[in-house]
Amino acid sequence: MGDVVIRVLAVVTATCCLSAVPVHAADDGTEKLFTFRDPGITESSGLAVSPTHDGVYYTHNDSAASPTFYAVDGKGRTRAAFQVRGAQARDWEAMAATKDPETGRGVLWFADIGDNLDGAWPDISVYRVMEPQTLRSTALPATRYRFRYADGARNAEGIMINPRTGRLYVVSKEFAGSVYAAPKKLRTGRTNILRKVARAPIMATDAAYAPDGSSYVIRTYFSATLYRPSGETIAKVPMPELEQAESITYTADGTALLAGSEGPRSPVYRVPLPERATPTTT
């Protein structure tokens, strides 16, 4: 019930703020890319494009699930399911995918950062998993990084990693949301401190960096906003109507967004970016 009230209040506030930023036209060629077919994917909360396997997408379920993620093809069929060995899944809310600049291997990041009581957990965790080179169901080892906010615990549902710098960011889900930067170098032997560096839209449910690092996106239940790395707003992008809009990422070429939802057999939509936000080639 509380979550429903929050969403109602959020949509009222968001509607009042729509005129504050440029809005991308709704007739932009948005299309359904696929629907998750696996009955085990019931609360798709994170979404990422594989850095090394063409046409493969990753997702994971929300809270009360095992530390499992799924590799899915462009028709929504599960290619493999992976257990993250030794990990907890208190409230997995987001994921990101990057590429190791030294080895060229894909790296997957899973964020156990949900905290509906805004302080129930003394710290939060993000797991780093090397992307499997073969899409075959198995268990994979992970490196766990613990985090704490410099200004007190809060709920969050978005992580993103700047591909140019490798820096990790957490986006809080609040009426006055914020973007928090992790230390440049993450350490496993101690808690890493997250510090506020920018504002975020109200009730942010996910975030992602563009593949070339030229922009990032933060989505809410109702729309998505594009930003430059400095935090300057580029544009607001309408999102398709979804049962519970939870996930967002960029396509591999950075020209569009992929938006997903929780729920059984939930769809993933492709939403083209406005021209001023698409990557430029030289």
Average pLDDT of 8-36?
58
- Sheet order of strands, 192-199 included: 92-99, 106-112, 124-130, 143-149, 192-199, 178-181, 168-172, 156-161
Tokens at 182, concatenated: 């992790």
The domains found in the chain, sorted by start residue, are 31-277 (2.120.10.30)
Predicted local confidence at residue 1, as pLDDT: 39
Closest by CA to 84, choosing from 99, 100, 66, is 66
Is the pLDDT assigned to residue 140 strictly greater than 50? yes
Tokens at 13, concatenated: 């506030």
- 238-257 pLDDT tens trace: 999 888 888 999 999 999 99
- 146-183 pLDDT tens trace: 999 999 999 999 999 999 999 999 999 999 999 999 99
Predicted local confidence at residue 64, as pLDDT: 61
The pTM (predicted TM-score) of the whole model is 0.89
- 75-97 pLDDT tens trace: 999 999 999 998 988 899 999 99
In DSSP notation, 250-265 reads E-TTSSEEEEEE-STT
CA distance 112 to 67: 10
